[in-house]
A and B are shown apart, each in its own frame.
Chain A
Amino acid sequence: MVNLDFGTILVDWRMLAKGVAWTLRLTTASATGGLALGIGCAWARIHGPVWLKAVTGAYVELFRNTPFIVQLFFIFFGLPAAGFRLSPETASILAMVVNLGAYATEIIRAGIEATPRGQVEAALSLALSPVQTFFHVVLPPALRKIWPALVSQIIIVMLGSSVCGQISTEELSFAANLIQSRNFRAFEAFIVAALIYLALSIVLRRLLNWLGPRFLFGD
């Protein structure tokens, strides 16, 4: 009979807590950065000059059609060869930001395009500048419409951050790996990690659903 021993894992709760802290830090940084990048690129894809549309289009397609782990390895192992040396943490955040940014661009663009033209014309006729119109009239309702999709994508990126342990960023899966390498209780270590990720994804969804309407697009 299989005997499982979760005690030996939970004894190392400090390492797990540190892992969770890093996972949350990576997620917060990439959600903020990815959202900003997504808004910028969505604007560029709709209103930008032709060359900018082409560049952002290529960026979006390139990052949505390649695996995150390859993007991470390219940034962490490939870029130093071209003269950019990054710490594991910086490389992780950078990879997560550009990855989320690509998905956020398409999601936000869909929201913006669903805004009726009449609203933009009304705003412009009130002598709002194009920039004011974008930030006060177009963006808030667009974000409200696509917020559930964006929240799902942020959670996917949070779960994807488990890959960052492969370049020795000390997030949750790295902690689980470290614990199992010391006591050989691999199955238990990853069960505990999986349950923590599950809890994080449930809590994060609740939190973002609460935060969005209050701070991003005021209801």
Chain B
Amino acid sequence: MTAPVGEDDLTAWVDDRLAVERRPVVERYLANHPDIAARLRQQQNQRSALQSLFAPIAAEPIPATMRIDAIAASQRGTRPAWFPAVAAALLLAVGFGGGWGVRTRTMPPQAGIGALAREAGYSYRVYASDEQRPGEMGAGEKQQLVSWASRRIGSRVAVPDLAAAGYRFAGGRLVATPHGPALLLLYDGATRVRLAVLSRPMDIDKDASMVSTRDEDVQQVSWADRGIGFSVVAPSATTGLQPIAAAIRVQAAAI
């Protein structure tokens, strides 16, 4: 049993892509149908005419602007100037209070570790839900992120390695807080859980021991060492946040 000749056979014959075992079948068919054979030979002429017509273009040297290195370099140079606008918006929204110990039921903490934890919660809700582009810079741009953030924050930062806890670095960005720029790092867990680490210099609570807090859907562990505050954020159902925070603290102390 041989499958009947189809239009797909004829098309493949024109393109010289017919499987070897189909060739004799199609050749026999064409021998018996001279009108179709003439049509296909015309299509073959057409194909080779097109190839010779356009061949010189592919032989031209490519413009230097099309080099991938050149394109990548120019894209690195043009980062959006989003920072001042976001900073202004957050300042308006949060207001600027001061003073240690301003903790009442109606007013959220506006300084110290409490403020840091709140800022981390805001940033987490905005950026951790972004599947496409959680960080301004992705995992492949860790070095650029570290040098950029260190410069903007005015203090040396690092990206903690949380692989041992099952979290992979997904990207990072600078975020605006009422206390200046902060570095937000995002990590992806195995079960689509996203974890964030916010860090920034502290004016108050330069050294603070770890505190766990919960705010609606998120939980946090926050602390400060040598003037830099850290807040680790995860969905409230996540377990094992405390040891992850401890691991980050150890790694950060080693910078």
A-B interaction: no
